[in-house]
Structure 1
Amino acid sequence: MKRNVTVIVFANRNYQILKGEYAQGGAGTPGQGASNTLSIDRPALNWTDLAAGHGVPACKVSTLGQFSDAMRRAHAAEGPSLIKLLL
């Protein structure tokens, strides 16, 4: 049974909340070691390919207009879908 579910992946590829905490803690600019721990892009997951591999239609968007259009298409379609929002 196919459920009408839309998965949205907010792909900023880093722990932005932790970067903010680091800055607010007065630690200054993070060095390479700290920056490496705040990054989650090695490897960068290709969410749209992963979805397609499971038979789920997927798209990649980077603007609010594109996101709005993708949401309309996803809601009009039957079954699951995935939207990767690049931040």
Structure 2
Amino acid sequence: MGCKGCLQSVIVSDEYIQQLVKEQLQLETDLVDDQTYHKRLQICKNCPSFFYGNTCSHCGCFVQFRAKLSYKTCPFPNGSKW
């Protein structure tokens, strides 16, 4: 199955996601603390819009990346869950 924004497969390994997040976060300066990050991830993991163990079906992002950015919110249509 393709992702929301392209035809790439959304089935990727946890190692790949962790490496991608690590590399991309080096470019960011506005990050949440680890406690907030883990709280956000837990909310995402319990959301019915969480797919493939890494993807938000509303925006197509890897939640491990979005949850770490302080200027991002949850894209749930009825209002942010975090």
More strand, by proportion: 1
Of structures 1 and 2, the one with the larger relative CO (CA 8 A, separation 6+) is: 1
Larger Rg: 1
TM-score (norm 1): 0.20
More helix, by proportion: 1
